[in-house]
Amino acid sequence: MSDQPVDYHPMWAELGLDLPMHDALLEAVGGMYGATFMSQTNRPEGMGYLDFVMSEVHGLRIKELHDFRKAGGKVVGTYCLYVPEELIRAAGAWSVGICAGAEWAYDEVEQILPRNTCALIKSMVGFKLGKVCPYLEEADLLIGETTCDGKKKAYEELGKLQNLHVLELPQMKREKDLAFWRSELVDLVATLEELTGKKVTAESLKVAIKEVNDKRRALQRVNAARAADPAPISGLDSLLAVQVAFYDDVPRFTQMMNALADELEKRAADGVGAAAKGAKRVLITGTPMALPNWKLHELVEKAGGVVVGEEMCTGSRYYEKLVDEDATTIDEMLDGIAAKYLDINCACFTPNEGRIDDVIRMAKELGADGVIDYSLQFCGLYEIESTSVDAAVREADLPVLKITTDYSAEDVGQLATRIEAFLEML
Amino acid sequence: MRVLGLDIGSRSVDAVWVEDGRIVDWAVADSGFDPGSAAAVFVDRGAHDAIVSTGYGRHGARERFGGTAVTEITAYGVGAARLFPHASSVLDIGGQDTKVISLGPGGKVTDFEMNDKCAAGTGKFLEVMARALGFTLEEMAEQGIAASTGVSISSMCTVFAESEVTGLVHRGEDRSRIARGLHESIAKRTLGSLKRVRAQGPLVFAGGVAKNPAMVALISEGFAGEVLVPAEAQIVGAYGAALSFER
């Protein structure tokens, strides 16, 4: 590595980014990262890797994607964890989760989406309209999904601007839904094969299943270590690990996370914590926190608490379940993939009782003192499901704090008071 | 050991000096544009051995004067439970926040709810509406009690409600009935929050708005249990903060 910082502006220009705005975004995110992450104390050494990845978030990683595409490779952008990364990899493409975790170009977004659309969807469209996301511009294909009405309709707008394939996700989990979902995956395979010009084979799919499972296993280890008191890693750092999992190189990330897990297991055994022993422990459940949305974790941990788990798409739902590895034929593998993905417990399903079981089980396993039920404003699915989730959590004798917010900073004063009061109550 | 409890709110800075759990002195000042300096006047009296701050400005106060800080939720819970040991819940309507708190044994907070980012239904709301009606806060409360029926006010947003009130005034609606309608709409919203935290009586109604007789009457009428209003409703937070020192 040379000492001279690389100037990526020519690459960004090639991608058609709005350079002055993109510079402003990078500066803002860099500033947030410094203030939020680098001010933490007693961090595990293994976080150095994620610090480096974040410092090169639009640099080195984009260069990798850029070089891959120049050599004929294809990049596929996704917005949701129902999109099977295994299929993308088996077709020879790379999968990148497109982040949608900051307010950007809302003035333009609100010309095509109503103001009362959730922050995630507005951000998703804003990054495209504002031309500030190099991942989006590197994507040869975007895969959307019908997880909620807002996303479903927003994809129609996004599809006018970029090559897009939409997966239809069922809303129930019956046998016939599983069969339908599997047929959607078969169609996706055909789309991907056409994109890359490569066949998905039993061999390539088997390798992809193993690689992605290994990534999940590494994250499972990182997160299991959080059960220790003191917690060996902060909630912020753990959240970041899952956020990065969506777009980093799979084998490299797996290796680094296993190294981090080794360190965390040792810290846990030695009683070394990122938070103080006895710090109030919080489990967060709810809507995903896309990069760079660190608002809630930062508030909890600045108030002296520690987040010990996330029952959310940027959390346990991403890594907890594995695809069956014993299948030998493509058909069997597709069965396994369809079953695993349909088994994720998102509020877009009805009923969604599995989520309640997950929340209570995780709270017990991780020794949580309380649960924060987090929802982005205007996410009807999660805001309504709060009623049954919160009742079940109280039933299990755990205090719960319900928070509805967005990406803006306008409510942080009030949120800080509520979160501090919640921690004082525990 | 004398502890100074400071409640630095959006509208007032309240100070209570506490010794052995008893209030030995108290004072209230307007927050103005510099609440820290308003608080400094109390600190400069030097009549304390320790300070605990609460309210909106608690962190600033802790940095400036030392000592510790607790949230208003904990402070109001502790203060109300000491004043009324049999209390089961607390309602605090302040300058820009409304809090409802359920208390467990020993005054421990078991659940709470607080308004989000807007000042709907708080003291600030009443101030803006009084101005729109050409009343002082006291006059608006008196008129509200005097009117037998209220005009229904549909907006809870301070800005929208102000337009709504202006519209009603222009249509020639009776100001007293509007005044009553405004108090009723806050009471309705507040009673809804109390239900959500499953608040049981006796309920301690504290905070600056508890000095408003129209609000006290409407909350007492709508709440299923007994409603208790401390003699000095505004200083419960500062008192609770001081008492938190022992904990």
- What percentage of chain A reaches a pLDDT higher than 90? 97
What is the distance in angstroms between the Cα of A158 and the nearest Cα belonging to chain B? Answer: 32
pLDDT, averaged across chain A: 97
Residue B117 pLDDT: 62
- Strand-pairing partners, residue A417, are none
Is residue A96 within 8 Å of residue A139, measured between CB atoms? yes
What is the distance in angstroms between the Cα of B109 and the nearest Cα belonging to chain A? Answer: 6
B178 or A99: which leads in pLDDT: B178
User: Could you say which of B109, B111, B114 has the minimum Cβ distance to residue A417?
Assistant: B114
Is residue B213 within 8 Å of residue B146, measured between CB atoms? no
Is residue B12 exposed (0-12), middle (13-18) or buried (19+ Cβ within 10 Å)? buried
The pLDDT tens digits for A374-426 are 999 999 999 999 999 999 999 999 999 999 999 999 899 889 999 999 999 99
Q: What does residue A69 show for φ and ψ, rounded to 5 degrees? A: -70, -35
Give the up-direction half-sphere exposure of residue B49: CA atoms within 13 A in the CB hemisphere.
Answer: 8
- Tell me how crowded residue A339 is: count the other CB atoms within 10 A of its CB: 16
User: Average of pLDDT values for B130-143?
Assistant: 95
Residues of B in contact with A410 (CB under 8 A): 117
Structural domains of chain B sorted by starting position, each given as residue range(s) with its CATH number in brackets: 1-84+232-247 (3.30.420.40), 86-229 (3.30.420.40)
* CA dihedral (B182, B183, B184, B187) positive or negative: positive
- Strand-pairing partners, residue A141, are A76
Cα dihedral A6, A12, A18, A20 in deg (nearest 10): 10
Cα–Cα distance between A137 and A59 in angstroms, integer? 14
B143 pLDDT higher than 90: yes
- Strand-pairing partners, residue A142, are A77, A164
User: Could you say which of A410, A417, A425 has the minimum Cβ distance to residue B72?
Assistant: A417
Give the up-direction half-sphere exposure of residue B85: CA atoms within 13 A in the CB hemisphere.
Answer: 0
Two tokens, residue B72: 């208003």
Residue B247 pLDDT: 63
Residue A99 pLDDT: 86
User: Average of pLDDT values for A122-134?
Assistant: 97
Is residue B22 exposed (0-12), middle (13-18) or buried (19+ Cβ within 10 Å)? exposed
Is residue A215 within 8 Å of residue A250, measured between CB atoms? yes
Q: What does residue B212 show for φ and ψ, rounded to 5 degrees? A: -90, 110
Strands A164-167 and A141-145 come out as parallel
**Statement: the pTM of the whole predicted model exceeds 0.80:** yes
* Those residues with Cβ within 8 angstroms of residue A147's Cβ, 6 or more apart along the chain or in another chain: A80, A82, A169, A346, A348
The pLDDT tens digits for B37-72 are 999 999 999 899 999 999 989 999 999 999 999 999
Q: Is A411 on the interface with B (CB under 8 A)?
A: yes
Residue B71 and residue A404: Cβ atoms within 8 Å?
no
Residue B106 pLDDT: 78
Sheet holding B98-103, edge to edge: B109-114, B98-103, B89-93, B203-206, B227-228
What band does B205 get if pLDDT is binned at 50, 70 and 90?
very high
User: Average of pLDDT values for A49-54?
Assistant: 98
Count of pairs with CB atoms under 8 A, one residue in A, one in B: 40
pLDDT, averaged across chain B: 93
What band does A158 get if pLDDT is binned at 50, 70 and 90?
very high
Residues of B in contact with A377 (CB under 8 A): none
Give the three-state DSSP class for B89. Answer: strand
Q: Residue A57's closest CA among A79, A82, A28?
A: A28
Is residue A73 within 8 Å of residue A96, measured between CB atoms? no
Which residue in B117, B195, B198, B245 has the most chain A C-beta atoms within 10 A of its own C-beta, making it the best mutation to test that interface?
B117
Interface of A with B in 184-203 (CB under 8 A): none
Q: Residue B60's closest CA among B116, B9, B18?
A: B9
Residue B116 pLDDT: 65
Residue entry with tokens 């927003």: A154
Residue B87 pLDDT: 96
Predicted-complex ipTM score: 0.87
Two tokens, residue B77: 């819970």
Q: Is A384 on the interface with B (CB under 8 A)?
A: no
User: Average of pLDDT values for A132-152?
Assistant: 97
* Those residues with Cβ within 8 angstroms of residue B164's Cβ, 6 or more apart along the chain or in another chain: B153, B154, B155
Residue entry with tokens 């169609």: A187
Residue B155 pLDDT: 85
Residues of B in contact with A414 (CB under 8 A): 97, 114-117
- Tell me how crowded residue A378 is: count the other CB atoms within 10 A of its CB: 18
Is residue B15 within 8 Å of residue B238, measured between CB atoms? yes
Determine which helix (DSSP H) or strand (DSSP E) holds B219, and give its type and residue range: helix B213-222
Residues of B in contact with A417 (CB under 8 A): 56, 71-73, 97, 114
Interface of B with A in 37-96 (CB under 8 A): 56, 70-74
Residue entry with tokens 């819940």: B89
Give the three-state DSSP class for B223. Answer: coil
